[in-house]
Amino acid sequence: MKPVDTMPHRRRNPLTGEWVTVSPQRTARPWQGEETAEASAPTNSYDPACYLCPGNTRATGASNPNYVGPWAFDNDFPALSDAQATPVQSELLSVPGGAPELFTASPVTGRCRVLCYHPDHRKTLSTLSTEEASAVVALWVEEVRSLRAQYQWVQVFENRGAAMGCSNPHPHGQIWAVDSLPNEAVKELAQQEAWLDAHGSVLLQVYREQEAALGDRLVLDNAHWTAVVPYWAVWPFETLVLPKRHIEHLDGLQPDEQRMLADLLGTLMRGYDVLFNTPCPYTMGWHGAPGTEATPAWQLHAHLYPPLLRSASVRKHMVGYEMLSEVQRDLTPESAAARLRDAVAGVMSR
């Protein structure tokens, strides 16, 4: 057994510059904490009470079309407002009498979109066919192409399952497009540009090539894409999805890359469901380069964060030391990758 499998240590995330504490010896500790009810999938293809099913009326009174494929619309309750709709002056956000260095605020504007993946209420990315998932990828591409021409950052994401705060089980994701760079984008941009300056290469391209050669954390690989449990993973079964060529944005994908991405995501999601024997909850999101200017240091990638730890009913909590000092994990990324790789292999052999 390698020391890394039993010895507490820290690992650095080169994409953010942050560290994670790994404590593999803690996997043997007994569990007497919270156990949540296992997730269950909808059983009906249509739910008359669902705000996202075709033909239904949403909370605002708007009616959904009888869509037959992926469909997108502006969120009825957006977290951000369009600049033209609600112009805000910076001075209106100031704190009278407060030092500007201590009470800093600025306006933020943007657009929030909802993307329905499929009209069937029971479907998820793990149960869509490759053709159906390809249509979802094509909608991501179309939305990103349109939104990034207007906004600095375009965040495609999906929260699946009540454990991740999803209030509607209908297969859907979201896009938030904002006029400024959020925290994670700032960190990733700085680290990727620093790597390019120092090494003359693209950080995540070099990382993917080395992970593919090493194999310890590799989960899934096809002609155009690779999925790994990253060396610095925070969540127990976190994965990172990377293209095999340098691509800055989702709208840079060629048709064969879109199809192979749909195939990889479907297989990976089914692997998660098999591993935990339940519709696995997760948050998944794409990070593309900010703005419209070329960003040679940036490599398109997706983060996938499932919260489950030991089983479908035991999840990882970010509390205590994680909130106050540094994120920590028990299961090593190598062990997690091996288990997820076996689950994916079972899916592929069916």
18-75 pLDDT tens trace: 999 999 887 666 654 555 656 677 889 999 999 999 999 999 999 999 999 999 999 9
CA distance 80 to 90: 16
Residue 270: the pLDDT is 97
Q: Identify the domain boundary among 143, 178, 213.
A: 178
Q: What is the band of 164 on the pLDDT scale with cuts at 50, 70, 90?
A: confident
> Which residue has tokens 């739910």?
47
Segment 196-214 mean pLDDT = 98
CA 203 to chain CA mean position, Å: 19
- For residues 247 and 204, membership in a common domain is answered with yes
Query: How many CA atoms lie within 13 Å of 238's alpha carbon, on the beta-carbon side?
Result: 17
- For residues 244 and 333, membership in a common domain is answered with yes
CA distance 31 to 11: 25
pLDDT beyond 70 at 286: yes
Segment 230-236 mean pLDDT = 97
CA distance 175 to 112: 6
Tell me the per-residue pLDDT of 107-121, one tens digit each, with 9 for 90 and over: 889 999 999 999 999
Residue 76: the pLDDT is 95
Segment 199-222 mean pLDDT = 98
Segment 97-106 mean pLDDT = 87
- Of 7-21, 160-174, 260-274, 304-318, give the lowest mean pLDDT range: 304-318
pLDDT beyond 50 at 86: yes
- For residues 85 and 166, membership in a common domain is answered with yes
- For residues 151 and 297, membership in a common domain is answered with no
pLDDT above 90 as % of the chain = 77
Residue 87: the pLDDT is 58
Q: Is residue 332 part of a domain?
A: yes
107 or 309, greater pLDDT: 107
Write out the residue range of the structural domain in which residue 221 sits: 182-348
Q: Identify the domain boundary among 178, 198, 222.
A: 178
- For residues 342 and 305, membership in a common domain is answered with yes
Segment 291-315 mean pLDDT = 89
Segment 304-327 mean pLDDT = 87
Which residues are catalytically annotated?
Answer: 172
Segment 251-270 mean pLDDT = 98
Strand partners, 314: 311
pLDDT above 70 as % of the chain = 92
- For residues 265 and 299, membership in a common domain is answered with yes
Residue 25: the pLDDT is 80
